[in-house]
Amino acid sequence: MKRNFILIFSFFLLFHIKSQQKLIPVKVILCKSPDTLRGDLKVNSKKMHELYKKIIFKPATGPQKMFRPGQACQFFLEGRKFVSMEFEGQPSEFLEVLAEGKVLFYKGYAEFVNVNEVTYEPIYYLADANGNLEEVDEKKFAKQIKQRVGKDAPDIKELEAIKQFDEKAIALWLQKYNSR
């Protein structure tokens, strides 16, 4: 009886763990060679922040591979683009590209430890065409963007109308600005 209970329990535990991970079609561009790989990405829906540190790629044939920033330059996942970014000369994380053009807008995740609890919070960056990154202060985002685009940029009033930090609204404004 005890053995049957253990077997049933382990079966459900295994099923529960597997149900957390799903395979999503993805395209990965490698840094070291000009190869583009197509296959599936293993994504744990409860740990989406892991996408910013490493990706587990399953090609159509062959074993799965893990790529860290610096090994994979970029990957495309469900219409979203992630790029490998270097901090202080070391490839450290993937950043999601929210807006591209003259002014780039990126999203990453930072790990915070408070007593015994680990939390992951989004962190945003602005960059110019030269790749100079600046962390976005959510209270001073409009001022930081104005410094990048200039005070005379068209539709600057729309940016000033965004009173609280809103990732989607800022990304849309920057996409509109960059498309000119």
Q: For the segment 38-71, what is each residue's pLDDT rounded down to a tens digit?
A: 888 887 777 878 888 888 888 878 888 888 888 8
The sign one gets for the Cα dihedral 101, 79, 48, 33 is negative
Would the pLDDT of 23 be above 80?
A: no
Rounded to an integer, the average pLDDT of 21-36 is 68
How confident is residue 22, by pLDDT bands cut at 50, 70 and 90? low
Q: Is the residue at 113 inside a domain?
A: no
Q: Is the residue at 73 inside a domain?
A: yes
pLDDT at 3: 54
- The pairing of beta strand 90-99 with beta strand 80-87: antiparallel
Q: Is the residue at 40 inside a domain?
A: yes
Q: Is the residue at 74 inside a domain?
A: yes
Q: Is the residue at 119 inside a domain?
A: no
Structural domains in the chain (count): 1
Task: Show the DSSP H helices in the chain as ranges.
Answer: 2-20, 141-149, 156-161, 167-178
For the chain, give the percent of residues with pLDDT over 70: 80
- The Cα–Cα gap between 56 and 152 comes to 45
Q: Is the residue at 79 inside a domain?
A: yes
pTM, whole model, 2 decimals?
Answer: 0.78
Highest mean pLDDT among 14-18, 86-90, 157-161: 157-161
Would the pLDDT of 12 be above 50?
A: no
Report the 10 Å Cβ neighbour count for 36.
Answer: 12
- Average pLDDT score, the chain: 79
Please check whether residue 120 is in contact with residue 113, taking contact to mean a CB–CB distance below 8 angstroms: no
Report the 10 Å Cβ neighbour count for 158.
Answer: 13
Q: Is the residue at 137 inside a domain?
A: no
Q: Which domain holds residue 58?
A: 21-99
Q: Is the residue at 133 inside a domain?
A: no
C-alpha distances (whole Å) from 35 to each of 71, 74, 78, 127 are 11, 11, 20, 27
